[in-house]
Chains A and B, each alone.
Chain A
Amino acid sequence: MAKLAWRNLTQQPLRFAISAGGVALAVVLILAMSGVFAGSEEHAVLYMRNQPAELWGMQAGVSNLHMSSSILSEETVQQIQQFPGVEQAIGVLYASAGVDVGETEIYSYVIGIDPNAPYGGPWSLVEGNGSPGLNEIAIDRDLAYRYGLTLGDTVSILGYPLTITGLSEGTFGIATNVVFVNKTAMALLMDVSPQSASYVLIEPKTDTNVNSLENALNSTIRDANIMSRANFIGSDQEMIRQMGADILQMMNVIAYIIGLLIIGITVYTATLERAREFGVLKAIGANTRQLVSTVFIQSYLIAGIGFSAGIGLAYLVSILVARLSPEILILIEPRQWLSQLPVLVIVTGVASLLPVQRIRSIDPLIVFKA
């Protein structure tokens, strides 16, 4: 019956292609949307991922970098820096603000770094200097390219002009644009001590157990919350995921309804067109299981081919988008499309129910009609 199902579909190659293509588009929509969100999640944590700090200190009660406000006093920062087992602890200031490029304001995460600190700044510098002086800024290369900026040009934050002295990469995304400024200058803007910090990037000594150090810091320094890098990243990703979950879920539902309709209509039309042949099969002895299996095979062939094509197309789209718009990272991983498989199996089964019902009602006496 598999051969019959295949032939029934391929006898109308255009309709088959449209059907499988429709399913493929629905799959692309699902994967691209979830890929954009996954990409945003990844972009958002690139700063944390690329710093050598295994522990991150922040104000007590804070557990995120994004959408958060954290300030640790000069004393607390010093306490962390001098804590037994800590090799280095680099304080950075952090705030979200608009970077003005001419008339355009670009929402950015501004990180104030100490130019003499061994880390905390851009992890990949393409051009210039990654340790900005008082009136300097390092911005992303793709951002600079998009707005026609180059080293020596000026942008401003809260009306303060800053000269671009460094171009970084991997710091520009649709949801997150990270720029680096001088920590002392930023402290003045924020009206805080230059020795205070929003976050402290802690590098433990090599012979120190990281978990024990985290626990010791947390139990000793009450004003601070110390998190491992993995937990800090996970916490931010979870927050971003929750922000996008409803939209993603809605898009998935829409895409699945489209897929359901495409598969259902195609198989139902194919069944209607071949009602007489199904009647003939009934007459010459096909049982219900064999007839129903023909319908299901047709449905799952469309869904399977559409799904496979959709995965391929989604990867292609992610590559094309990365070339055309580097700030949009579409991150597609096997777990994403594997997780869609059970839903697709159920949707395809549901789409087959109407054609199956139609087949069951076909009268085999149709064979006697000329």
Chain B
Amino acid sequence: MHTNYSLELIQINKIYGSGATEVRAVDSVDLQVNPGEIVLIMGPSGSGKTTLLSIAGLLLRPTSGTIHVNGISTSILNENELARIRLESIGFVFQAYNLIASLTARENIQLVMNMAGARDHKAQERSQELLALLGLEERANHLPADLSGGQKQRVAIARALANDAQLILADEPTGNLDSKTGYEVMELLCCGLDREKGRSIVIVTHDHRLTDIADRVLWLEDGQLQENAVGMM
């Protein structure tokens, strides 16, 4: 079944354990993210935010429910098919940046394009373009260890955008950054880059200031997702 949403979660449940030890980490969650929409998911620690993001990112299979990414139902796909969707349709931005330590900033960006089958010269052109957009041209040939936190997160964003993913999933993207740098980085991601391409962004965060750049803010508590979270924060 095809839908027009960038991401659609239908009645997602994730249950760990059974019987007396059963924990319902995600409880009957429905979520639709429109193309170009920026959705912020907030909630207390242990509320299931990361579990929900893992499910949305096809890294964790739900106990029940259906996930559509760019209209494609993922329920019956095998691991390699899910990996292909993650590679081509989803970009990830993590709190810990998760760059490959042995590769330079440019190579980290090119890697995902090469993984998707892009030829070297195409990958070089695209990485150059992204590095310029993110103000990292001069740091292109530096290893992650030689970059500041903000620069690392910008490289991670460039990597997430490299394959023109229509859905970006960000887990506490400002968690390791000072407030000023964090806000600048998120502005770049949400407002500065390719917004005309209709890219959707789902951000899981504790950072209240990011509500300014979100189209919609949701609240997750005890595994349940609620709209209109402003009053709950």
Contacts and interface: CB of A to CB of B under 8 A. Distances in A.
24 contacts: A4-B102, A4-B103, A8-B102, A10-B102, A277-B100, A277-B101, A280-B94, A280-B98, A283-B98, A285-B84, A285-B87, A285-B90, A286-B83, A287-B83, A287-B84, A288-B80, A289-B80, A290-B115, A364-B59, A367-B59, A367-B98, A368-B95, A369-B96, A370-B175
A245 interface: no
B15 interface: no
Interface in A2-57: 3-4, 7-8, 10-11
Nearest to B176: A370
A11 B100 CA distance: 12
Contacts of B175: 370
A230 to B, nearest CB: 55
A282 B54 CA distance: 13
B199 interface: no
Q: How large is the interface on B (under 10, 10 to 19, 20 to 34, 35 or more residues)?
A: 20 to 34
Nearest to B110: A3
A290 B37 CA distance: 33
Nearest to B53: A368
A368 B171 CA distance: 8
Contacts of B100: 4, 277, 280-281
A7 B59 contact: no
Contacts of B57: 283
Given A367-B92, A370-B176, 14 more contacts: A3-B103, A4-B111, A8-B102, A11-B102, A277-B98, A277-B100, A281-B115, A283-B59, A285-B83, A285-B115, A287-B84, A289-B80, A367-B59, A370-B175
A284 interface: yes
Interface in B79-124: 79-80, 83-88, 90, 92, 94-96, 98, 100-103, 107, 111-112, 114-116
Interface residues of A, number: 26
Nearest to A278: B100
A368 B183 CA distance: 21
B80 A11 contact: no
Interface string A257-284: 0000000000000000000110011111
Contacts of A11: 101-102
A3 B107 contact: yes
Nearest to A7: B102
A276 B79 CA distance: 19
A365 interface: yes
Nearest to A12: B102
Nearest to A8: B102
Contacts of A286: 83, 87, 115
B6 to A, nearest CB: 17
Contacts of A283: 57, 59, 86, 92, 98
B50 interface: yes
A283 B79 CA distance: 11
Given A365-B54, A370-B175, A284 B112 contact: yes
Contacts of B107: 3
B154 to A, nearest CB: 16
Contacts of B83: 282, 285-288
Nearest to B175: A370
A284 B96 contact: no
A367 B94 contact: yes
The 3 residue pairs across chains A and B that have the minimum distance between CB atoms: A285-B87, A7-B102, A285-B86
B191 interface: no
A285 B88 contact: yes
Nearest to B80: A287
Nearest to B49: A368
Nearest to A286: B115
B88 A7 contact: no
A4 B171 CA distance: 25
